[in-house]
Structure 1
């Protein structure tokens, strides 16, 4: 009995292996049917096994490549940031080129030489509007030199040195410019308001000024040349004494975005 117990499992295994062989030798058709049934039964499991092997192989390859993929991703991110910086720089150069072309066109309309300058400083006070430009007496810029922009009148130089100058903007409350209505020729005085708008005062009560009219410099006073665009009339009202009219004028020059100006003297424009 002990001998049989010892050889029980090997005998069963041998029988399981030899039985199909004996069937295949004795009855080939029956063996084919058994093989077909076995294949059909085991097919899904074999497919699952194959898919699992491919999946594990793919994941293993991914894990092996992960460090190099991370490194490549960092390189691509760096390249993207560099390209964005270059694009921003290109847009800035394009914008500056457009502004400088406009200044050159304005300079070409003047009969004599004029000096282009960059705005290199602004007064930090909210109660005044002054700028510093990178041109001074060495470049022919002196006190009362008029500053122009392709859109119109900017202001004038009030002080300076050899290489820089300080100028007051038209919108400063201390700024005064003799001006006139381009359409009706009515004369008044443009005053700064320390805001984005200007105020045209001392208009005759019978003036034919209308909303939408263009205001230009009158040439009176000996500093600002005649005919330089200043702005457009937004509103008209009566002065406190009821003897005069006043007008609110929106300047043509974008003072909050001023970056370049053209420095000219009255004689240059005349």
Structure 2
């Protein structure tokens, strides 16, 4: 143990003194030693400096990546907010256009009328019945006619105090007397439970043709005359060859109804 202590003493205290004396006595020799030692340690110092720079650069890159990642998340949130705002504006614009058209239709209607929102559909017959948010307290009764800026919708078949249920033209139980605006031929437009309507009881010598405008005829005491229904897409003979029938594409997109105008005669 004492021997190790002596070696430590020599290295720590005596070696610097000896080197100092040699430096004064043999300066050139010391310079040579310093140059030699520098050449030996230079690669180590270069490697050390390279490692330090690498870790420093990596740390900087990590900080920059974290900052960019945070900035990217903020930009994504901002883009999402702007998209939501744009969608809201678009929806409000479309709603405003629909309501404006409905008010214009109301102003052109000479009889009593009131706008209503479609608030539900019949689960058992989704595409052919609707529920509106107006009822008897709003003077909505059975056979109140529903119209849309695009054309005829249907009629109320039952009414409560605050809501009413209506049948659409597309239902197989729906019947509307109709008129070809060009030829003045009268027939009966029936629903078939699909997107198309069928106009029956047309005279065999009728000049009805594809593209003709079909409107309500005003017969039967329910539907007013002159409300647009749709356009003829096909004309053919009945099986008995005594009459003609035509398929009519309605103007109203029944599956997209959101508002209607309720008209009482």
SS at match of 2:222: coil
Residue in 2 that maps onto 1:100:
99
What SS is found at the alignment partner of 1:166? strand
User: Measured at CA, do residues 185 and 44 of structure 1 come closer, stay the same or move farther in structure 2, by a change above 3 Å?
Assistant: farther
**Does structure 2 conserve the Cα–Cα contact (< 8 Å) formed by 1:178 and 1:217?**
yes
Q: Aligned residue for 1:163?
A: 162
Partner SS for 1:189: strand
- Does residue 110 (structure 1) correspond to residue 109 (structure 2)? The answer is yes
Report 1:53-68 matches (<5 A): 53-55=55-57, 57-58=59-60
Is 1:150 the counterpart of 2:113? The answer is no
User: Structure 1 CA distance, aligned partners of 2:160 and 2:190?
Assistant: 27
In 2, Cα distance between the equivalents of 1:198 and 1:130? 16
- What TM-score results when the alignment is normalised by the length of structure 2? 0.77
Note if contact 1:152-1:229 (Cα within 8 Å) is conserved in structure 2: yes
Give the TM-score, by structure 1 length: 0.75
- Which residue, 19, 27, 33 being the options, matches 1:25? 27
Give distance in 1, aligned partners of 2:48 and 2:126: 85
Alignment of 1:1-270 (within 5 A): 7=7, 10=11, 14=15, 18=19, 22=23, 25-26=27-28, 37=39, 41-42=43-44, 44-55=46-57, 57-58=59-60, 89-126=88-125, 129-266=128-265
Shift in alpha-carbon separation, 1:58–1:200, aligned structure 2, 3 A? same
Structure 2 unaligned spans of 5+: none
Query: Conserved in 1, the CA contact under 8 Å of 2:111 and 2:264?
Result: no
Any idea what the Cα deviations from partners look like across 1:242-262, whole Å, max 9, x if unmatched? 111111111111111111100
Asked if the contact 1:205/1:244 (under 8 Å) is kept, the reply is yes
Corresponding pairs, count: 256
